[in-house]
Amino acid sequence: MTGALLISSVSAQAEISEQKAIDLARKIYFRMTGTPLREGALREQMSTLVRQEKFVEAAELASQSPGFINNTMRLFSSSMNNQSQNTRDITLTESMAYIMLIARENRPFSDILTGRDFPTINGQGTDCFDPTTGVRCDLSNATTLGSSTANRTVASQVPNNVASGIYTMRGFGNAAFMAGTNRRALQQTFNQLFCLSNENMKSDISDISYIGRDVSRAPDGDPTTSGAFEQECRKCHSVMDGLRGAFAFMDADGGGQLTYRANGQDNGVAAKYSRAADVYPDGYRTVDDRWEVTFDRDPAMMAKLGWPSGMLGGNGVASFATAISETRQFYACMVQKVIDTVCPNDPNNKEKGKGYMLDPTVVLPPIVTKFKENRNIRDVFAEIVVRPECLGR
């Protein structure tokens, strides 16, 4: 008698009631699409899957709705595509539309770095917004957002054979290459594609021989090991300046066009690479688009990035972007961005630090490993959004 009672109460607890299933389906749907789940066939299908504890399947179903691309992917990709690195800056850019396209088509997500095509928007102009009606166009629709490999005449002047995903598109590209010294392209790579702060770009022991001529070796007047150059400048610039050659032919003009081998001196190297060369004339002079990993002698840095040991140098932006697409940290960072997008932070977990809601040593590594293998961003969303820690189920 007691035993039977116990069993029935256990199974009653494990079973998801109809109302609870509808509530969970609505929560999953809203987080996946940014829109409410209305009564109807889809709600029926999703809550049935939830009752069968097929949570991931329910989330995959939600991802077929236009809101997944138009709202969620737009928000997810926003900070990667503007100089402020602000997630609230959702102004549509070329690189953002490309990320949305890759997600919609279930293409390998590494294409955002290495793809040779570019997005095309038919209809309401490149901003995909009709100011008279206030309506945004539907980028989940394949006739509106398409792809082309035809030579670009408007989007940028980067030739197709060196095109390399968002690195050679407006949006990410403008933020990376406008003015400056193209080091910002690396800052963006670290901050936005590795989710690492500038402080985390530092290596104490990487090779300093590629540091540019514009970086003072004695900014405080002290060229010894106790000086600011040794204590600060070299730690970032040794890492960045070795890689910066990858973008030597890249520039962005004031009008938002990307250029390649334009305004160049030195065999096409952008003029900005020789800016302030008199600060330290013995520094590294960029003469081509060669890039070198200078931190291969720093095992901690190599491990932190999960940098592929067979890709320690190359020529040009496309080979650089390929190396980034082979790092583990790129995939870890994208998983983190998915968490930021669909998994609200629990204030009770705040003291454990950002992202710790999903255990970074137990829960996340298998998700990252799987993503690096199958490269499907939609699957990562579906897996993360239904995690018990996120959904509160």
Query: Residue numbers of the site for ligand HEC (CB under 6 A)?
Result: 180-181, 183-184, 187, 198-199, 201, 214-216, 219, 228, 232-233, 235-237
Closest among 107, 126, 224, 209 to 170, alpha carbons compared: 126
Taking the least distance from each CB to ligand HEC, the nearer of 27 and 235 is 235
Shortest distance (Å) from residue 180 CB to ligand HEC: 3
CB 138 within 8 A of CB 100: no
Shortest distance (Å) from residue 77 CB to ligand HEC: 21
**Tokens read off for 275:** 């800016």
Closest among 188, 214, 210, 211 to 201, alpha carbons compared: 188
Shortest distance (Å) from residue 138 CB to ligand HEC: 35
Shortest distance (Å) from residue 215 CB to ligand HEC: 4
Taking the least distance from each CB to ligand HEC, the nearer of 184 and 375 is 184
Shortest distance (Å) from residue 199 CB to ligand HEC: 6
Q: For the purposes of burial, counting CB atoms within 10 Å of the CB of 89, is it exposed (0-12), middle (13-18) or buried (19 or more)?
A: middle
Taking the least distance from each CB to ligand HEC, the nearer of 18 and 232 is 232
Q: Specify the residue for token string 């402020």.
A: 84
Q: How many CB atoms lie within 10 A of CB 41?
A: 7
CB 77 within 8 A of CB 192: no
CB 173 within 8 A of CB 83: no
Q: What angle do CA 359, 361, 363 make, to 5 degrees?
A: 50
Taking the least distance from each CB to ligand HEC, the nearer of 95 and 189 is 189
Taking the least distance from each CB to ligand HEC, the nearer of 49 and 233 is 233
**Tokens read off for 299:** 């095992």
CA gap 312, 181 in Å, rounded: 22
Shortest distance (Å) from residue 218 CB to ligand HEC: 9
Taking the least distance from each CB to ligand HEC, the nearer of 234 and 372 is 234
Closest among 366, 383, 295, 298 to 332, alpha carbons compared: 366
CA gap 178, 176 in Å, rounded: 6
Taking the least distance from each CB to ligand HEC, the nearer of 65 and 286 is 286
